[in-house]
Structure 1
Amino acid sequence: MAAYIRKVRTASGATAVQIAVKQGGRRTIVEHVGSAHTDSELAALMQLARGKLHAGQQELDLGLDTPGSPRKGPSVITAKRSRWLIEMIETAWHRLGFDVIDDEAFFQLVLARLVEPTSMSDTARVVGEIGLTPVHRNTYANALKRCATRDYRDRVATRCFEHAAAAGGLSLVLYDVTTLYFEAEKEDGLRKVGYSKERRVDPQIVVGLLVDRTGFPPEIGCFEGNKAETHTIVPMIRQFQARHDIAGVEMVVAADAGMLSAGNLADLDAAGLKFIVGSRVTKAPADLSNHFHWNGDVFVDGQIIDTVTPRHAKSSVNNIRKRTEHVWDAAGHPQSWRAIWQYSTRRAVRDNQTLNAQETRARAVVDGGKAPKATRFVKTTTSGRTVDEAGLERARSLIGLKGYVTNLPATLMTPGEVIGKYHDLWHVEQSFRMSKTDLRARPMFHHTRDAIEAHLTVVFTALAVARYLQAETGISIRSLVRTLRPLQEITMTIAGHPHTATDPLSPEGVHILTALDLPAD
């Protein structure tokens, strides 16, 4: 009498797993192993059923000749956990050295921020759903307090610095800022109404982020919400240097044009730092005066002009009587910085499309349409509105140009290398997008500075884990979680005996575990 496993769809939509035998052409159900509602439960039941068959060498004494034999009891699922997801995050946590912080509540706050960013009060639900035992809500609150009293930020930043330094990524650090707003009615010493690209009028803080050339973050800091972005870069760099005692270490700082101010560049240079910042296209006529004088506004695709730019707006350093561009060096040009301009045909096409749209909008406003705020190329005088034809023509002469300002002499770095390093800025922009979307750093509901700093420490730590995992696997944290979270390990008790089964790994899951050198068993 041969026994076999049978799967049957029940009326409730579940899948029943049964052990049956055929005798005399008739099927007899001899044991109902259990009913599964998910793939994980089905895998567990199938594994259990196979174990029963193998134990009997396919021929089981199923007690058919003993009617009324006692039932073994119902199957009970005693535990579920997203094993691979937990192991992946724990692996990154240990490899980055964050286990220097022996605080389970802090770890769970970071883990929840990675898995499903939510409020502190909802962290227990996220942690419980993936199979860990959440700590009490008060313990989470106390963990945030410990962030300040036990210098968690400094300990995490130290490990981040060590990781970035070992990877050789700190020769270039990239800087950018963002704003995080609050659901609050009143300002205080930190949360203030300031400039917002989204035109919000809520109190906010300014957050500065340093990342290495791969996008891994070694430093984060926050400033008052009304602090100008240009006034954050030097304090941030000094904070970074002081924390790790690296004053004088060769390092290039790259930032976008928003950080371009005479004071910032002078301060960075005085601190012995090399910098690369984007230049505003409005500076091109002065910087490229030689080119425009001798060649007009004609450029070829990919053309690079290595020249100089004045340190102060009111000064002039170019001489149009000399056709040859200046070759910048600090000693020979104390009143200027090195400026590199590049022309791109693709950029010109994009810029031209933008200008066409702006011209159309300007002419519509002049013709009597409603004027939106700060309409470009519209001049308003006592006699009415007119199109700024001269400004429009000047803008068209500059399409396709992109400028870079640096204190790196040509003997140390070619123009192409300067441009390439600046373009690495997309890593810091990507990290900011991740912190605001995948990790949802905002809005924030904390009130005191310590609580806000603690929240940023959690986000900073989660961002470091996420960037490490992305670097190792080539997959974003959102996709990593989406792939591994459904793969569960289930523990069941059947007939008084515990049994464990796991969902089969998908090809994507195998790739992730292989990339992280985790055993896929």
Structure 2
Amino acid sequence: MRLSISKSKNSTSLYVIKSTYENGVHSSKIVEKLGTVNELSKKLNGQDPIEWAKKYIVELNQKEDKENREVIVKYSPSKVIAKGEQRSFNGGYLFLQQIYYRLRLDKVCTKISRKYKFTFDLNSVLSRLLYARIIYPSSKLATFQLSTRFIEQPVFELQHIYRALEVIAKEADLIQSSLYINSLKISKRNTGVLYYDCTNYFFEIEQEEGLKQYGVSKEHRPNPVVQMGLFMDGDGIPLAFSINKGNTNEQLTLKPLEEKILSDFDLSRFIVCTDAGLASEGNRKFNNKGERAFITTQSIKKLKAHLKKWALDPKGWSLDDDGRTYDITGLDQTKDKDKVFHKERWMKENGLEQKIVVTYSIKYRDYQRNIRNSQIERAQKAIASNPGKLKKYNPNDYKRFIEKSHCTADGEVAEHEILTINTELISNEEAYDGFYAVCTNLEDDASAIIRVNKRRWEIEECFRIMKSEFKARPVYLSRDDRIEAHFMTCFISLVIYRLLEKKLNGKYTCQEIINGLREMDFLEIKGDGYVPCYTRTDFTDDLHEAFGFRTDYQIVGTAQMKKIFKTTKS
């Protein structure tokens, strides 16, 4: 490093610069701006600024030389390691920490702490709840214990976690709106399309209480559940969520959360995309106002007779913009297998004008029939081997194909219940194979509407990540405020994870990312630094490249690790 003096018309500025060599080109970069000669003269009490700068740079070079020295550590095969001494620490959280601080969540914690005037470090608690939810998902007690595995040690006690959950729940609206506003500074948000869906999470209890109510469990479990409604932006990043009682009608949850987005997030122009279960007439009308619009899946079976007849009519189909019309009964089963045909029309009911777009695909038809054939095989096996287990079933269960009767084919009364395959039901279902419909109030081309609707799978993936990777359920908390705060930490963790995934350009799977971060352990060499214990891979290379710091040297000196801490918090 050396001194650079830059003179302009009004001032002389001093810089610390360093020579670089990259891709065969010699250059230099500014390490630090020291200030102008006039500014330094005032600070240095008459000392010559240029002489001071030269001495300062000598000190910087000496410090850098010390950090770059080779480290020699002596080990004895006869000396036992100290009992109870932790030697291995995780450093994968550092990449999550950089996103956490760039979302300014530390500032949000400071604001909340000042409001409630408590003395424990809310920032330390919240950050560890989030890092652990992604890397070591577990209970709050286990999270407290596992947070000592991170290189930077926690500065709170177990009781502070539960106190933190209470204020996190109280400040849910502030946290969500701040998270969105601050995220705009680190990543462009695609809020032109918002996807909404609901899921529920079960508790290992039997007694209903507060938020925990018996409802239709998505996992078919006989336990009380709470319901989560989630908005996701067009890039798969969560936007806002709400927690409701487990027996709440899902259709009633969209409007209150959307109103919060309108008021707290300063958003007013967007398309809301939902599945058919959330597409009540009231929700469609709500998003038929102002600059809002909707796209929602539509059950063809539930259409009025004349619309159903039109939707299933084999004639009048289009393919992109080729200007032709097709009869789907004359399609080539091989050449046309990957093509998606569509038709559309407008309809007006109860004061709401909307367009229905229907698609037909041979591949989708075959997919549906393969699933049904597998279900029919299961039904046949059940009739032959387990007729006693055929009592209850849901609309998509294979048991729906089993017909029970107490008469023979000749109409005579049978002594025992007769089980057969309901071929009429199979035939009725097959009539809808390959068809798919959406409704919208947009005038856009059918292909554009279909393209938007296709991304609904990403919100389902959000739920899957929270349940499977973040272990968001079962929930072991009992108080409603702590339950809400638990899901707040899961939500923020998902935002951080998605932003990390985006920084890596979607190159790695969820398991590759989480396992990769979890495996980034270091052996602490007291007084010298940290030795990476992980395998350097394409993933770790891309991670370091994306975040602008490296932890994969043979040893990361103590001073260098402190610089990394500072980098992740800047």
**How far 1:511 moved relative to its partner?**
1.6
**How far 1:172 moved relative to its partner?**
0.6
Aligned to 2:233: 212
Aligned to 1:449: 480
**How far 1:489 moved relative to its partner?**
4.0
Aligned to 2:455: 424
Aligned residue pairs total: 426
Q: 2:529 aligns with which of 500, 515, 519?
A: 500
1:208–1:221: 8 Å Cα contact kept in structure 2? Answer: yes
Q: 2:437 aligns with which of 400, 403, 415?
A: 403
1:287–1:308: 8 Å Cα contact kept in structure 2? Answer: no
SS of 1:105's partner is helix
Aligned to 2:372: 355
**How far 1:276 moved relative to its partner?**
0.9
Aligned to 2:144: 124
2:292 pairs with 1:273? yes
Q: How does 1:232-271 map to 2 (within 5 A)?
A: 232-246=253-267, 249-270=268-289
2:502 pairs with 1:483? no
Residues in 1 aligned to 2:381 and 2:162: alpha-carbon distance in whole angstroms:
56
2:461 pairs with 1:394? no
**How far 1:287 moved relative to its partner?**
2.9
Residues in 2 aligned to 1:407 and 1:267: alpha-carbon distance in whole angstroms:
12
**How far 1:298 moved relative to its partner?**
2.8
- CA deviations 1:102-143 (Å, max 9, x no partner) are 421121111111111111111122111233323211121221
Q: How does 1:45-444 map to 2 (within 5 A)?
A: 48-49=71-72, 80=87, 82=89, 84-100=91-107, 101-102=109-110, 103-134=123-154, 135-149=156-170, 151=171, 153-163=173-183, 167-246=188-267, 249-270=268-289, 273-283=292-302, 286-290=306-310, 292=312, 295=315, 298=329, 300=331, 301-308=339-346, 311=349, 334-359=351-376, 370=387, 371-374=390-393, 375-377=399-401, 389-409=423-443, 413-444=444-475
SS of 2:138's partner is coil
Residues in 2 aligned to 1:389 and 1:489: alpha-carbon distance in whole angstroms:
63
Amino acid at match of 2:341: Q
Runs of 5+ in structure 2 lacking a partner?
1-68, 111-122, 316-326, 332-338, 394-398, 408-417, 554-570
Aligned to 1:466: 497
Residues in 1 aligned to 2:189 and 2:158: alpha-carbon distance in whole angstroms:
40
**How far 1:169 moved relative to its partner?**
0.8
**How far 1:505 moved relative to its partner?**
6.2
SS of 2:244's partner is strand
Moved more, 432-441 or 98-107: 98-107
1:299–1:343: 8 Å Cα contact kept in structure 2? Answer: no
Amino acid at match of 1:482: N
1:279–1:405: 8 Å Cα contact kept in structure 2? Answer: yes
**How far 1:154 moved relative to its partner?**
2.0
SS of 1:470's partner is helix
- CA deviations 1:455-486 (Å, max 9, x no partner) are 11111111111111111123345433422444
Residues in 2 aligned to 1:485 and 1:267: alpha-carbon distance in whole angstroms:
44
**How far 1:256 moved relative to its partner?**
1.5
Amino acid at match of 2:288: D
Amino acid at match of 1:405: C
**How far 1:514 moved relative to its partner?**
0.5
In the superposition, relative to structure 1, how do residues 484 and 47 fare at CA in structure 2: closer, same or farther (>3 Å)?
farther
Aligned to 1:331: none
Amino acid at match of 1:500: G
Residues in 2 aligned to 1:354 and 1:481: alpha-carbon distance in whole angstroms:
32
In the superposition, relative to structure 1, how do residues 133 and 355 fare at CA in structure 2: closer, same or farther (>3 Å)?
closer
**How far 1:388 moved relative to its partner?**
5.2
Residues in 1 aligned to 2:308 and 2:371: alpha-carbon distance in whole angstroms:
23
Residues in 2 aligned to 1:403 and 1:456: alpha-carbon distance in whole angstroms:
33
2:194–2:233: 8 Å Cα contact kept in structure 1? Answer: yes
2:213–2:225: 8 Å Cα contact kept in structure 1? Answer: yes
**How far 1:385 moved relative to its partner?**
7.2
1:182–1:443: 8 Å Cα contact kept in structure 2? Answer: yes
**How far 1:277 moved relative to its partner?**
1.0
SS of 2:433's partner is coil
- The higher-RCO structure (CA 8 Å, 6+ apart) is 1
1:363–1:387: 8 Å Cα contact kept in structure 2? Answer: yes
**How far 1:280 moved relative to its partner?**
1.5
Aligned to 1:27: none
**How far 1:356 moved relative to its partner?**
3.1
Amino acid at match of 2:529: T
Residues in 2 aligned to 1:89 and 1:393: alpha-carbon distance in whole angstroms:
53
**How far 1:415 moved relative to its partner?**
0.7
1:304–1:415: 8 Å Cα contact kept in structure 2? Answer: yes
SS of 2:195's partner is strand
What RMSD, in angstroms, separates the aligned Cα atoms of the two structures? Answer: 3.4
Aligned to 1:329: none
Amino acid at match of 1:97: R
Q: Calculate the TM-score normalised by the size of structure 2.
A: 0.67
1:110–1:459: 8 Å Cα contact kept in structure 2? Answer: yes
- CA deviations 1:169-192 (Å, max 9, x no partner) are 110111111101112232123211
Runs of 5+ in structure 1 lacking a partner?
1-45, 53-70, 313-333
**How far 1:392 moved relative to its partner?**
3.2
2:177–2:265: 8 Å Cα contact kept in structure 1? Answer: no
2:354–2:439: 8 Å Cα contact kept in structure 1? Answer: yes
In the superposition, relative to structure 1, how do residues 297 and 476 fare at CA in structure 2: closer, same or farther (>3 Å)?
closer
2:533 pairs with 1:513? no
Residues in 1 aligned to 2:90 and 2:378: alpha-carbon distance in whole angstroms:
56
- CA deviations 1:38-81 (Å, max 9, x no partner) are xxxxxxxx9643899xxxxxxxxxxxxxxxxxx9x979788756
Residues in 1 aligned to 2:520 and 2:147: alpha-carbon distance in whole angstroms:
15
**How far 1:363 moved relative to its partner?**
7.0
Residues in 1 aligned to 2:424 and 2:346: alpha-carbon distance in whole angstroms:
26
- CA deviations 1:315-366 (Å, max 9, x no partner) are xxxxxxxxxxxxxxxxxxx454211111111111111223334555667889
What is the percent sequence identity of the aligned residues?
A: 20
SS of 2:528's partner is strand
